[in-house]
């Protein structure tokens, strides 16, 4: 593998900052899953899409 490792400090390291806020990410994933289920249920009960 050909890659360079470089240190990125503080606020410039946004990936590490995002990963450290994992609780917020899991909350978004939960909301997205609930929305998907709601859309699925709505489509199953819609007469137009039952045809």
pLDDT in the model for residue 24: 61
Radius of gyration for the chain, computed over Cα atoms and rounded to the nearest angstrom: 20
Rounded distance between C-alpha atoms, residue 44 and residue 51, angstroms:
10
Instruction: Provide the residue ranges of all domains of the chain, joining segments of one domain with +.
Output: 10-50
Whether the CB-CB separation of 18 and 25 falls below 8 Å is answered with: yes
DSSP 11: G
Give 21-38 as a DSSP string: THHHHHHHHHHHHHHHHH
The tens digit of pLDDT for each residue in 18-27 reads 666 666 666 6
The pTM assigned to this predicted structure is 0.37
The tens digit of pLDDT for each residue in 9-44 reads 777 766 666 666 666 666 666 666 778 888 889 989
């Amino acid at each position: 593998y050909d890659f360079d490792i470089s240190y990125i400090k503080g606020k410039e390291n946004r990936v590490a900052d995002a990963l450290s806020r994992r609780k917020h990410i899991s909350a978004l994933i939960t909301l997205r899953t609930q929305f998907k289920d709601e859309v699925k249920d709505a489509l199953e009960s819609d007469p137009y899409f039952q045809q």
